[in-house]
Amino acid sequence: MREAPPGGKLPMKVAVCIKQVPGTTEVQVNPDTGTLMREGVEAIINPFDLYALEEGIRLKEKYGGAVTVLSMGPPQVESAIREAISYGADEGVMISDRSFAGSDTLATASTLAATLRILGPFDVILMGRQAIDGDTGQVGPETAEHLGIPHVTEVKMIEGIEGNRITLHRMLEHGYLRLRAPLPILLTVVKEINTPRPASFKGKLRARQVPIKILRAQDLELSPEIVGLSGSPTRVVRVFTPPRPTGGKVFTGEPKEAVENLLRTLEEAGIPLKCRNGS
């Protein structure tokens, strides 16, 4: 952690990790490899990451500093990075190498952590709570562990930063947890945290012109066995679309009548209707 000048605020160095995902839920699965078939499907920035990006831009606006956007993936992710710049990120870094192909969450986190270490130190690292394609929600926490810094998931509000401490609201099922944590920190955010701004005209113009930094495997000095497929212990056994439940019956009419019909149907189907208290 960089030392803040006495009584002074330190401009925030913020990193936002984004993922390019298919812009639809209708992606087909390759039956042979169990991987997603992305060809011909429009790619978008993972929606949760847009909230992380917006929060990063807000931190910059409030405390000064700069926002660096990182994305790991094939060369196409450049378009996601440029889009992020059009929203207000200052610079973009693409982490791309053939040897990264097939990374699971562990290998991805190792690679992201190595990148963040080289580009950093960052005060705040932001990610979306999960990606809408893999839906694991693991990369954030794993990256923080690799970096040896604390992390908080499901952040729904950043109350503020004072000196070296950040105050957060973490979303729970019934309410939220207000907590304070030291910087540097990695946060994954939920969509309740903000409303992302639109890309501005000037942002778009900048996004076309700004050079994107590209980091390859050799730049990260990672041993080959921890990146890509060889660094990925996860084995996908089978990916399939679960059969959609068919049939079903909707009970209409007055609530009393509908409930009676429902109960009768359940009884006829041999489903026991006894509650725990025996009634």
Residue 42 contacts another protein per CB under 8 A:
no
Gap between the Cα atoms of 197 and 194, Å rounded: 9
Minimum CB distance to another protein, residue 205 (Å):
6
Choose one: 52-60, 153-161, 171-179, 199-207; the region binding another protein (CB under 8 A). Answer: 199-207
> Does the protein bind another protein through residue 61 (CB under 8 A)?
no
Of 13-21, 74-82, 203-211, 224-232: span binding another protein (CB under 8 A): 203-211
* Six-digit token string for 129: 């709570």
Give yes or no for residue 210 binding another protein (CB under 8 A): no
Size of the site for another protein (CB under 8 A): 10
Angle at which helix 201-209 crosses helix 77-87, to 10 degrees, equals 140
- Smallest separation, CB 208 to another protein (Å): 6
208 binds another protein per the rule CB under 8 A:
yes
The residue among 200 and 265 lying less far from another protein, judged by its C-beta, is: 200
Least distance (Å) from another protein to the CB of residue 58?
13
Report how far residue 63's alpha carbon sits from residue 88's, in angstroms, rounded to the nearest whole number.
15
Q: Does the protein bind another protein through residue 240 (CB under 8 A)?
A: no
Examine residue 74 and tell whether it contacts another protein (CB under 8 A): no
Give yes or no for residue 28 binding another protein (CB under 8 A).
no
Select from 47-55, 95-103, 106-114, 198-206 the region that touches another protein (CB under 8 A): 198-206
Three-state secondary structure along the chain?
A: CCCCCCCCCCCEEEEEEECEEECCCCCEECCCCCCEECCCCCEEECHHHHHHHHHHHHHHHHHCEEEEEEEECCCCHHHHHHHHHHHCCCEEEEECCHHHCCCCHHHHHHHHHHHHHHHCCCCEEEEECCCCCCCCCCHHHHHHHHHCCCEEEEEEEEEEEECCEEEEEEEECCEEEEEEEECCEEEEECHHHCCCCCCCHHHHHHHHHCCCEEECHHHHCCCHHHCCHHHCCCCCCCCCCCCCCCCCCCCCCCHHHHHHHHHHHHHHCCCCCCCCCCC
Enter the tokens of residue 185: 């920190």
Q: Near another protein by CB under 8 A, which window of 58-66, 100-108, 147-155, 193-201?
A: 193-201
Among 2, 165, 202, 216, binds another protein (CB under 8 A): 202
Whole-number minimum distance, CB 203 to another protein, in Å? 7
Kindly state whether residue 197 participates in binding another protein, applying the rule CB under 8 A. yes
Residue 211 found at the interface with another protein (CB under 8 A): no
* Contact pattern from residue 126 through residue 165 relative to another protein, giving x for each residue in contact according to CB under 8 A and a dash for the rest: ----------------------------------------
Q: Which residues bind another protein (CB under 8 A)?
A: 197-205, 208
